[in-house]
């Protein structure tokens, strides 16, 4: 992808050589020069792990089939308690979470994920057949990063998941470059 931004030519204050930087470029001082230009658009999603949580087998299979278009590892859980156990054993980068489930609702799962310092960095996307404003407000209050309405549109699902995973993986890379501990959990 070509960069159509205008160059920002700066005169050096010490009389040295003039340098050109792209305005708004991902390259910046403080360690980010290790991310090659153009790499922001081409983030490798193959290291990403998605946990899909739904108690309805038909919905689970449909969304799972849609997500096969992504080069990610995919695991499934059939209710909120199973989801929390799965997260404790094999932390995902993103949880795609049904709202209405037995034993533990998606709202409660999200609240627990976002309330725990070790898991709050996991991206949570809630899937809901509910369409009342109060339901969306409750999802936001529980800490969800995004939500999608059922029936799920394949293009919308893949676009949002791809975008959220890019941000998640880039944030992890930034944390690693800056030497922050717990980069995966941030």
User: Does the residue 152 lie in any domain?
Assistant: yes
Confirm whether 7 is domain-assigned.
Answer: no
> Is the dihedral angle over the CA atoms 152, 63, 163, 136 positive or is it negative?
positive
pTM, two decimals, is 0.74
* Mean pLDDT score of the chain: 80
Residues contacting 99, CB < 8 A, separation 6+ = 105, 106, 107, 126, 127, 128, 129, 130, 135, 139
Q: What domain range includes position 166?
A: 46-175
Residue 21 in domain: no
> Domain count of the chain?
1
Q: Name the packing angle between helices 57-67 and 154-177 (round to 10°).
A: 60
Domain membership flag for residue 185: no
In a domain, 9, yes or no: no
- Domain presence at residue 91: yes
Query: Does residue 23 form part of some domain?
Result: no
Question: Confidence class of residue 180 from pLDDT cuts 50, 70 and 90?
Answer: confident
123 membership: H or E segment, kind and range = strand 123-128
pLDDT digits (tens, 9 = 90+) for 6-61: 444 444 444 444 333 333 333 333 333 444 545 545 788 999 999 999 999 999 99
Name the 3-class secondary structure at 121.
coil
Residue 134: give its domain's CATH number: 3.40.50.2300
């Amino acid at each position: 992808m070509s960069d159509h931004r205008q160059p920002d030519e700066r005169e050096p204050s010490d009389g040295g050589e003039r340098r050109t930087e792209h305005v708004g470029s991902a390259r910046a001082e403080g360690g980010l020069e290790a991310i090659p230009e153009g790499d922001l658009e081409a983030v490798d999603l193959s290291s990403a792990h998605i946990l899909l949580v739904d108690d309805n087998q038909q919905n689970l299979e449909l969304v799972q089939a849609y997500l096969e278009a992504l080069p990610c590892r995919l695991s499934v859980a059939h209710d909120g308690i199973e989801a929390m156990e799965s997260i404790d054993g094999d932390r995902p980068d993103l949880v795609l979470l049904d709202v209405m489930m037995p034993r533990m609702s998606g709202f409660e799962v999200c609240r627990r994920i976002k309330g725990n310092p070790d898991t709050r960095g996991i991206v949570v996307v809630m899937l809901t057949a509910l369409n009342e404003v109060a339901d969306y407000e409750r999802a936001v209050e529980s800490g969800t990063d995004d939500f999608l309405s059922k029936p799920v549109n394949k293009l919308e699902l893949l676009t949002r998941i791809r975008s959220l995973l890019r941000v998640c993986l880039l944030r992890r890379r930034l944390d690693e470059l800056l030497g922050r501990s717990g980069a995966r959990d941030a």
